[in-house]
Amino acid sequence: MSNIMFPKSEYSDERLCALVADGHRDAEEELVKRYLRPVRVCARPYFLAGGDSEDLIQEAMFGLLKAIREFDPSHDTQFKTFAEVCIRNRIRSAVTNAARSKHAPLNDSVPFESPMLGAEASPEELYISREEETERMVRLRQQLSPLECKVLRFFLLGLSYQEISEQVGRSIKSVDNAVQRIRRKVAGNFGVFSES
């Protein structure tokens, strides 16, 4: 179906998904644009020792495309929630598959977050998961310098090195060095983060 011109910004994510199902590629492109930052945010908590974060961002994009193409509004779920599940599942699947293959750098991925809880998780499980994630972040921040804490906060929000550089008033190289130090500290202290 040919692309049509319409005020995409006025459409909800769910309406855009319906348009994608009807063959409107421009609706799919609009959803991809809307979710670029959330994709980066979902991929950012996974540090790859010796790996490239762009690989995980690419996997996250595949998860987003799957969500766009398979979203079913009859399941009474918001697209945003469904997309996040698809994105995180794709990232975790890529990390798991890489652990079984020759892609050794992915074997050292370190998630900050708790394991993904299914859609059936109880409110208590969700609360405990959030508390554990908060505790891990507090422990990590105690090991970081003030600059590293700032860089980590912006990094996890999905900002690019250039954007982080502007926020913290340091060069891009300084930001990159801080990210590398954070990665080493996370990888070297992973046992701290895996406690129950």
Q: What is the pLDDT of residues 20-76, one digit of tens each?
A: 888 888 888 999 999 988 888 888 777 554 456 777 888 889 999 999 999 988 888
Q: Give the residue from 71, 76, 85 showing the smallest Cα distance to 118.
A: 85
Interval 157-187: pLDDT, tens: 778 888 899 999 999 899 988 988 888 777 6
d(CA 137, CA 42): 16
Q: Please, which pLDDT band fits residue 105 given cuts at 50, 70 and 90?
A: very low
Q: What number is the average pLDDT over the span 137-144?
A: 78
Per-residue model confidence (pLDDT) at position 170: 92
pTM metric for this prediction: 0.52
To which H or E segment does residue 102 belong?
none
d(CA 38, CA 68): 14
The domain 122-196: what is its CATH number?
1.10.10
Q: Please, which pLDDT band fits residue 144 given cuts at 50, 70 and 90?
A: confident
72 φψ region: left (φ > 0), alpha (ψ -120 to 50), beta (else)? beta
The two three-digit tokens of residue 113, written as one number: 């977050």
Per-residue model confidence (pLDDT) at position 166: 93
Q: What number is the average pLDDT over the span 95-109?
A: 54
Sequence ranges of the chain with CATH classification 1.10.1740.10 = 1-109
Tell me which of 93 and 28 has the higher pLDDT: 28
Quick one: fold of 1-109? Answer: Rna Polymerase Sigma Factor; Chain: A (1.10.1740)
Sequence ranges of the chain with CATH classification 1.10.10 = 122-196
